[in-house]
A and B are shown apart, each in its own frame.
Chain A
Amino acid sequence: MNDLNITVEDSYAQSATAPILEARHLRKLFPVHSLNPLGQKAAVHAVEDTSLILRPGRATALVGESGSGKTTVARMLAGLYTPTSGTILFRGEPARLSNSASLRAYRRHVQLILQDPFSSLNPVHDVRYHLARPLRIYGHAHNKRQETEQILSLLNRVNLSPAEQFISKFPHQLSGGQRQRVSIARALAVRPEVLLADEPVSMLDVSIRLDVLNLLLRLKDEERLALLFITHDIASARYFAEDALVMYAGQMVEGGPSDEVIQKPMHPYTRLLVSAAPDPARLNPDDNGKAATPPARGEIPSLIHPPTGCRFHPRCPHAMEICRQRFPGRTELGNGRWTNCFLYGDNN
């Protein structure tokens, strides 16, 4: 995390672990329109002070419940939302996302895979159309022959074979898993370096989820993609990603190597999340019956008037007076682990 100042060319050419996409202190407010012109201006505080780093060949999982702001982060990184404040750095330089030309240039490198494969493909167009558009727009194919060639190779890369048959199919002729593969192929057609996957498997049948995850893992390794994997399932974050970040109500609460974050959660919210996740291993033959889980109460608060300070404090068993007053600074715990919690110190 200290190598942020290496010059762009060097870092890209030599060091594989240099960050490719970085978000610094991103914040997003969504104004709430009220019919009363004299009423107080309200806003949904969707994301507060979020920083993250994506590196080539590495997957970072962003874990959180619904309403935690994880999708908003992905959409800001994809240039779909403009951050209220904060910067996005691409290869160390601030990304310009102001006009359509610069956005297009940015999206040549950063692509988003959406959650719902049933609504993210156009039902009146076939697979060829979906994959040909990015190829033409980003200038990778100049004629019909190149186009077909590349589409076939894309379909093979996402394990849709025989590709010759899939090329002329329409979305309704495909299963959920196959559609999500087409979505992935569509993102890959741009030849991006960063792939943002927003809950890519949560809409799929259980038995095919792993297949799609494994496909993404293979692509990450083979093509050295930087992957942001957004999920609410903490177990798949551990399986899929090297690093994990935990979000609660728009605030980042903990991060580090995913295995460690899940095995030894530090922040009270991460502990709650891990203890609430279904864990068949509790059924081991030694202990009889189901393990007692700590009582977990409450839900994510309204983000129009979020709790002050650390937003977890109303639910936190360890809440102190200071938790109500301000948000704790980041505490480094060594080995890449960090947490924003007064229980472990405060670097502000």
Chain B
Amino acid sequence: MSNLESIKPFPDSEEMEISFGPQHPATHGVLRVLLRLDGERIVDAKPVIGYLHRGTEKIFERETYNGTIPHTDRLDYTAAATNNQALVGAVEKIMGVTVPPRAAAIRVMLAELQRIASHTIWLGTHALDIGAQSPFFYTFEEREKILDLFEEYCGARLTLNSMRVGGQPYELTDGWVDRCRAFVDQFPARVAEWERLLTANRIWKLRTIGVGVISAASAIEWGLTGPPLRGSGVKWDVRKVFPYDRYDEYDFEIPVGANGDTYDRYLVRMEEMRQSVRILQQCLAKLPDGPVMAKVPKVIKPPKGEVYFSVEGPKGELGFYVVSDGGANPYRLHVRPACFINLQALPEMVRGLLVADLIAVIGTLDIVLGEIDR
């Protein structure tokens, strides 16, 4: 303390260190950010993570390949379907399995519904953090409808465990397609409703425009993926770059922002929900017939080798790196977590901003600590 006082340039001002979180509702879980503040202004921020570490990658090593799928549900627990998709895709790649077209279409539908569900949580909580209470209630109403569709398909609402190596475990239930279509048809009107609440809202714009700016070059340098990257104007999406599960057969756009601020990331995610609806409509219109499971051995024993496979999750590129020694358990199964990498850019994005803006930036990064800490 005495040392600090001796170097103080302005005797009547002082820097303060505070711990923001880990138990704070605006950190979306157990994130702790050590802040160095000059008054209300952030001099530096240091995220401290690991409070939710469960050793998932260690647990993977004792499971069979299909046995790891329930563990992936618990990584990003707001987007279980895309986590499942990344894992089974990685194992199918190392096994050389081709998924039947109907299974691929079901996967795409689950993944796009999951993307919408994840973005509705993001919108509700992000707006709530910034002070707009009402969108939260409307977005969760829509999310509830998606969870009902999931429940009907696989019996679970959050931790879906909805895919298997080689295809899908279940056929769609009777009437699922109609109920999904009913949801999809009414959803764009809901997005428009939320946009009417926020997009031109003066307070919303004041709180988000120019906040948490990251340039395109900087975003690539920090390895950002997903909406944080696209908000900075980089047109990059795994679904387009490395199409999996026949994404190349669907017609959809990749929305990009221009300024790399919180407002642009908001616009990108809103547009992504509309594009997901477009993909869902195409799936429902031309859902192929046929089996939902490929011919795969009962015990999955991939050959010796290593493979990385990634999908475009709602938060960014979610990848799995599988190393097999030829046995029935993965020798090493590493997750490339999108949120973990995106969170790393937080100090860069908040330096010089106010504490209240930190809340907006944490919200706009759309982090889930289950995936960060694993």
Indicate whether A and B interact: no
Residues in chain A within 8 A of chain B (CB atoms): none
